[in-house]
């Protein structure tokens, strides 16, 4: 049995191929910057599908946020090995997974706009190292955390229009002390902040939210995309819920900057799964 996983900080999407059938399930996000080996093994052991198939899994291809260095690869690999004891395990950065899902074997820029944000250039064979992906404290422009922080601050600083502020207060009761505790004292502050970005979904046509979205995407383009000399000559692909749900505003900003939009996927898992199986020469059932 083969398993392919795409993991962000919030959630991990899994797909498996076993006896001509595909299997789909989810676990919480697995990020080695926030979880230890023991945390990872305990977390995935709670999933019924994992328990059912753990001994039958022979190969795992895991692509995850935070898996950008050998030591972080080892944390995830050891955590998975404790559960999938019979499996060969390959761990790589989530950027590589989204590259396989969007670019395949063709040249392009690949961007992640989910809970966090990142970008890379793929020449058709390998990813070229960049200096982006600095996380929610220093970077993450255009991400869920970025927009969640913008929404929250506009409310706290009383910059949000009165009609929106009333809706926000009704749906996101947030006292200053509670917010500070969650951001500075509790685990996963990036996920907590990203949760406030959900407010944009039900008010996406409001001029204030539209301006916030377009300004945020423009900041992502200015800070990340424009650093690549070929950004106007190759497709720019996107993966993640923020890119997917607000793609109209995103496409408008890309067009304004002379950038060609490529694939925009909410989740890369199915395209990634197909790519890995084809690469490994496995014949799959229809997804």
Which has the minimum average pLDDT: 73-87, 124-138, 236-250? Answer: 124-138
Q: For residues 86 and 131, state if they share a domain.
A: no
Cα distance between residue 236 and residue 118, in whole Å: 12
| pLDDT of amino acid 138 | 72
**Are 121 and 261 contained in the same domain?**
yes
Q: Is residue 180 domain-shared with residue 235, that is, in the same domain?
A: yes
Total number of domains constituting the chain:
2
- Give residue-wise pLDDT tens across range 128-157: 877 776 666 776 889 999 999 999 999 999
Together in a domain, 154 and 253: yes
Residues 132 and 249 in one domain: yes
**Region 168-181 average pLDDT:** 84
Residue 28: phi and psi, rounded to 5, are -60, 165
Does any domain span residue 273?
yes
Between CA 51 and CA 163 the distance in angstroms is 48
Q: Give the model's pLDDT for residue 171.
A: 86
* Residue pair 242/147 in contact by the 8 Å Cβ criterion: yes
Mean local confidence (pLDDT), 93-113: 92
What does 154-216 look like in DSSP terms, one character per residue? Answer: HHHTT-S-HHHHHHHHHHS---HHHHHHHHHTSS-HHHHHHHGGGGGGGGTTSHHHHHHHHHH
Closest alpha carbon to 277 in 85, 11, 15, 7: 15
Are residues 239 and 150 located together in one domain of the fold?
A: yes
Closest CA to 112 of 86, 126, 132: 132
Q: What is the predicted pLDDT for the residue at 281?
A: 66
As given in the structure block, the two tokens for residue 237 are: 């692909």
Rg (CA), the chain: 19
- Full domain range(s) for residue 224: 106-265
Q: DSSP state, 285?
A: -
Residue range 188-197: mean pLDDT, rounded:
86
pLDDT at 152: 93
pLDDT at position 282? 54
Domain match, 122 and 243 both: yes
Among 139, 103, 113, which residue's Cα sits nearest to residue 241? Answer: 113
Q: Which two tokens stand for residue 126?
A: 């390998």
Q: Is the pLDDT of residue 8 over 90?
A: no
**Which residue has better confidence, 180 or 40?**
40
261 shares a domain with 167: yes
pLDDT bin (cut points 50, 70, 90) of residue 286 is: very low
Q: Given this model, what pLDDT does residue 90 score?
A: 95
Please write the tens of the pLDDT for every residue from 199-216.
999 899 999 999 999 999
Residues 25 and 153 in one domain: no
């Amino acid at each position: 049995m083969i398993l392919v996983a795409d993991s962000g900080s919030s959630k991990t999407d899994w797909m498996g191929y076993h006896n001509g059938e595909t299997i789909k399930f989810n676990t919480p996000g697995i990020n080695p910057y926030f979880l230890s080996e023991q945390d990872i093994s305990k977390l995935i052991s709670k999933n019924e599908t994992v328990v059912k198939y753990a001994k039958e899994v022979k190969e795992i291809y895991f692509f995850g946020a935070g898996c950008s260095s050998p030591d972080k690869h080892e944390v995830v690999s050891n955590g998975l090995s404790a559960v999938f004891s019979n499996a060969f395990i390959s761990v790589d950065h989530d950027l590589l997974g989204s590259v396989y899902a969007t670019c395949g074997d063709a040249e392009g820029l690949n961007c992640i706009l989910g809970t966090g944000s990142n970008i890379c250039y793929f020449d058709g064979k390998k990813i070229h190292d960049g200096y982006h992906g600095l996380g929610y404290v220093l970077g993450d422009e255009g991400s869920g955390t970025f927009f969640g922080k913008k929404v929250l601050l506009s409310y706290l600083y009383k910059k949000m229009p009165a009609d929106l502020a009333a809706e926000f207060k009704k749906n996101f009761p947030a006292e200053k002390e509670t917010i500070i505790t969650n951001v500075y004292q509790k685990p996963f502050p990036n996920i907590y902040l990203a949760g406030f970005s959900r407010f944009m979904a039900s008010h996406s046509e409001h001029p204030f939210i539209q301006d916030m979205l377009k300004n945020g995407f423009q900041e992502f383009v200015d800070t990340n995309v424009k650093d690549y000399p070929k950004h106007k000559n190759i497709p720019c692909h996107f993966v993640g819920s923020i890119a997917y749900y607000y793609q109209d505003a995103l496409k408008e900003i890309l067009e304004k900057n002379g950038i060609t939009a490529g694939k925009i996927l909410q989740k890369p898992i199915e395209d990634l799964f197909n790519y890995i199986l084809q690469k490994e020469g496995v014949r799959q059932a229809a997804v």
